[in-house]
Each structure stands twice: as C-alpha cells, then as structure tokens.
Structure 1
Amino acid sequence: MKQLGKKVYCSMCKQKTKHNIVQTYEERSNPDDDFQWYERYHIVKCAGCDNAAFVKQYSDEDTWEYINNDIEWTETIEVYPEEPPKTSEKDILYKMWQTGEAKKKAFKNLPENLSALYKQIIHSFSMGYNILCASGLRTLIEGICKHLGINQGYIYNQDGTKKLNPKNNQEILAKNLAGSIFGLFESGHITFTHALILQKIKVIGNDAIHDIVTPLSSTLEEVIKIVERIIYDIYELRNHKLLQE
C-alpha cells in the first residue's frame, strides 16, 4: 500500500503520523493550459492505529520555495479531521475566567481598597500577567496586616519555636512584613500553617518585584485559593450571621 509522503495529524493518536493511502481521486489542469495545477483527494489510514482520515493534496506553478539557490516545488496538504489549534496558557487562563474557574469571590466585609486590589489580582491572573499577580498578592497580604493594625511579630521556625538572634540569643521581634505575618498568627487571625504559607507567598512576591521572576500559573492558582481562604476567615467568617444571633 502506497504511503502518503508527509506525516499528517491523526485524530486518534493526537499527533502527526505516517498514513497509508487507501484510495485516491485526482483532478489536474489540461496540459495545454497556461497555468498548471493538480489536486488529489486521498482516503488514508494511520500507519499506527488504522484510524481513517481524508487528505487534500494540492500544488501548482506558484507553490514553490527558493532554498539554497534552487527552486523546490512544494505542495499543500490538508487533513480532515483537522489538528486542533494549539492553546496557549494565556488562552487557558482566559477560558477559566469566562467559565468561572478563575472568577473573583464576593467578599462583603473586605475593605474597599483591599477589595479593589483583590479584583486586580484576579484580573491579572486571568490575563496571564503572572508577575503583576504575584506582586499584587504580596501587597494584599501587607494591606491586610496594616488594616488590622499589625506591624510586627516574632519570627518562628517551621517547628513552631521562636527563632533566636545568634548574637545575643534573644527572640527576634521583626517590624517588617515577615514579622507582621507571624503577628497575624499571634493575634489569632490565622493559623500557624497559614502563616508559614504566607511567608512563602511573600517570597514569591519579592522575587517577582525585585528580580522579575515569573511564577508558574499553577503556583499562583494555589496561592490565590489560600489567600481567598484567609480573607474569608478574617473578614467573612467572623461576621457570619450565625454569630450575630
């Protein structure tokens, strides 16, 4: 069985493969015509899985390329079913935005300025602006600390013990974002595990702002879910109607 000269897409194998020609129908110009062309229609089967497809093969006097100072005649080949268009990560994120998978949450009790920032973070994520999204998340964490009046806290080890200054063996009280994040824990706003994760998010944001490091979308998706959970616990859960009764 004759084989098609070029690999074409197989809808079953989900990639370009060799195909065997089952049957061919051909049309071409008259030898006396000024413009010469031919068109072939093939019923083909994938050499790997035997899946059937339809191929259109076309060439004329204008289908050529100039390669290495020589004219090389070419032809166009179309296969049906067609190969689906490649989807970029940005397209996937935008589709998630449209279908609701990456839509913003409704937080009734979140302060207006923090709510506006949160919406911009979600929009940046949906458009694939990962650096802006990461830096926005860091800013949002800092904004939450400031809104709650927390600007310091002791620094902790991952096992829950407080870090000691090697110079004087004293506990480290930090008046920066790292300290404020642990201050959220010390004041009972978040769990210790959340505090540790927020420290990681702070680093991701710092890398994006200072070193222009682009985080993975999958990482940002997880980070956003965690931050949304923290926002809910701090601003929504504590104002739940059941607590008002």
Structure 2
Amino acid sequence: MGKITKKYKLEETSDEKFKFICNECARETSHVVVASYHESGFDDAGNNCYADWDERNQIIQCQGCDTISFRVELTHSEDSDYSYEHDTHIRNIRENYFPNRTHQLREINTFLLPINVKEIYQETTSAISNGLFILAGIGVRALIEAVCKEQKAKGGNLYDKIDSLYKMSVVTKEGSETLQKLRNLGNKAAHEVKPQSEEQLYTAMQIIDHMLEGTYIIPKRVEQVFGQEG
C-alpha cells in the first residue's frame, strides 16, 4: 500500500469573476468565489509509481441574481490528454455543481404545485441535469399522467386522458396535440429504452412548465393577490 500525503488550505478570495452556469438565470453568468477550500494529495506507491491530485471546494455566487451554490473542481495526474502542440500531457478539469445545472433548463417555482406533481417535476428536472435522458423521458410522461390524475381526467389510457383535459378546458386544442407528442416521447423512453436528445427534453419541459403555470401557479397567485372577488 502506498504512502498518501494530503494537505488542506483555506484559500484567499478576490473580486475576480468566473463564467459558470446559473440555474436561476438559466445561462452562463459571471460568478465570484466566496470561499475556497483547497485539498491536494500525493500517493507514492513506490517503484517510481505515484499520483497526485488537486481539489477545490468552492462556495460561488452569481453576480446577476446573487444565488449561492457549490462547485467542486478536481484535477488528477492520471486524468490527462496529450497535447501534440505543446508536447506534454494536459490535465483535464472535472467540475461538479450543487445543485446540478445545465444550459437552457430553468425550473419554475414549484411551491404552488400539488405535492405529487411537484415531486415528479423535481425528479424529472434532476434527471435532465444529470444526463439521465431515458429516465427524464419517462418523467415527462409521468408528469402528464400526474396532472391528468390530479385534474380527474377521464379515459382508459393516457391518450384519452389528454383529450379529456382539452374537453375540460384545462388545455387548448393545440396544447392537447402537443401533449400527445410528449406522450409519444415518454413511450419511447419507457418501452423502447430510447433516450431523447437534450434539445427535445428542454423543449418538453418548457411545454410542461407552460401547462403547470397556467393550470396551477397563475390561478393560485391571482387568488392570493385578488382574493375570491368575482
């Protein structure tokens, strides 16, 4: 077993800005590092076999919306690519964010959603953020199923229940046709184990967001602001 040496250091921060993705802004924005804890290590296995690594655990803050999140930056001597231009190995930088984030995906405020719809929504967006595109496709279908159940839509299958949402004026005719397309997307994920593209899933969630806002969020906000007055 090799000898492992570790060092820890709380680094000084500055006003320097870095470009990271912000979930709230749904795009890449300027961030500052509020705090950074640096861990470095060295593993000497003997016989000229060794490895070293650097890890930074950072609290970061978006300079657009002030949202605080967490970032981990890791490099390892065993994780590098050879550069023919510089005739050397260049270490890859691995990044993880908490909460996870991706371009284009912005969650709506879920506190006004029914609990079962809220839970499926959060799991679906989490699956997209983590690149679990088969599970995300199934989640899109499950979201539609959850809304149909909560709205007491009638029908023996999801196709008929979506049609029932239209007849109940929960969605428009165009909206019901779009939901049928999302149903097919979910069917491919569930029955054919076929992942959808990021673009398809982002678009699907934008459509879902529009439906959830119109069905739950906006009516409840109107009631909160204007009360029950007719």
Classify the TM-score, shorter chain: 0.5 to 0.7
Shift in CA distance, 151/94, structure 1 to aligned 2, threshold 3 Å? farther
Tell me if 1:143 matches 2:153.
no
Task: Please name the residue that 2:117 is paired with.
Answer: 114
- AA aligned to 2:199 is S
- Please say if residues 96 and 126 of structure 1, whose CA atoms lie closer than 8 Å, have aligned partners that are also in contact: no
- Please say if residues 97 and 103 of structure 1, whose CA atoms lie closer than 8 Å, have aligned partners that are also in contact: no
Shift of 1:77: 3.8
The 3-state SS of whatever aligns with 2:138 is helix
Q: What is the CA–CA distance in structure 2 between the aligned matches of 1:194 and 1:182, rounded to whole Å?
A: 10
Ranges in structure 2 where 5+ consecutive residues have no aligned partner:
1-81
- Please say if residues 94 and 127 of structure 1, whose CA atoms lie closer than 8 Å, have aligned partners that are also in contact: no
TM-score w.r.t. the length of structure 1 is 0.52
Superposed CA deviations along residues 125-175 of structure 1, whole A, max 9, x for unmatched, are 0011000001011011011101111122xxxxxxxxxxxxxxxxxxxxxx2
Q: 1:176 aligns with which of 157, 167, 187?
A: 157
Tell me if 1:210 matches 2:203.
no
Tell me if 1:105 matches 2:108.
yes
Tell me if 1:196 matches 2:177.
yes
Q: 2:203 aligns with which of 186, 210, 222?
A: 222
Shift in CA distance, 129/210, structure 1 to aligned 2, threshold 3 Å? same
Task: Please name the residue that 1:124 is paired with.
Answer: 127
Q: What is the CA–CA distance in structure 1 between the aligned matches of 2:144 and 2:99, rounded to whole Å?
A: 24
Shift in CA distance, 207/101, structure 1 to aligned 2, threshold 3 Å? closer
- AA aligned to 2:105 is A
For the aligned residue pairs, the C-alpha RMSD in angstroms reads 3.2
The 3-state SS of whatever aligns with 1:179 is helix
Shift of 1:103: 3.9
Q: What is the CA–CA distance in structure 2 between the aligned matches of 1:187 and 1:236, rounded to whole Å?
A: 18
Ranges in structure 1 where 5+ consecutive residues have no aligned partner:
1-74, 153-174
- Please say if residues 97 and 126 of structure 1, whose CA atoms lie closer than 8 Å, have aligned partners that are also in contact: yes
Q: What is the CA–CA distance in structure 1 between the aligned matches of 2:106 and 2:118, rounded to whole Å?
A: 14
- Please say if residues 101 and 129 of structure 2, whose CA atoms lie closer than 8 Å, have aligned partners that are also in contact: no
Q: 1:133 aligns with which of 128, 132, 136?
A: 136
Q: What is the CA–CA distance in structure 1 between the aligned matches of 2:116 and 2:144, rounded to whole Å?
A: 13
- Please say if residues 189 and 195 of structure 2, whose CA atoms lie closer than 8 Å, have aligned partners that are also in contact: yes
Highest Rg: 1 or 2? 1
Q: What is the CA–CA distance in structure 2 between the aligned matches of 1:95 and 1:79, rounded to whole Å?
A: 34
Between the two proteins, the alignment pairs up a number of residues equal to: 144
Percent identity, please.
Answer: 24
Q: How does 1:30-41 map to 2 (within 5 A)?
A: none
- Please say if residues 83 and 90 of structure 2, whose CA atoms lie closer than 8 Å, have aligned partners that are also in contact: no
- AA aligned to 1:181 is I
The 3-state SS of whatever aligns with 2:86 is strand
Shift of 1:214: 1.1
- Please say if residues 109 and 235 of structure 1, whose CA atoms lie closer than 8 Å, have aligned partners that are also in contact: yes
The 3-state SS of whatever aligns with 1:240 is helix
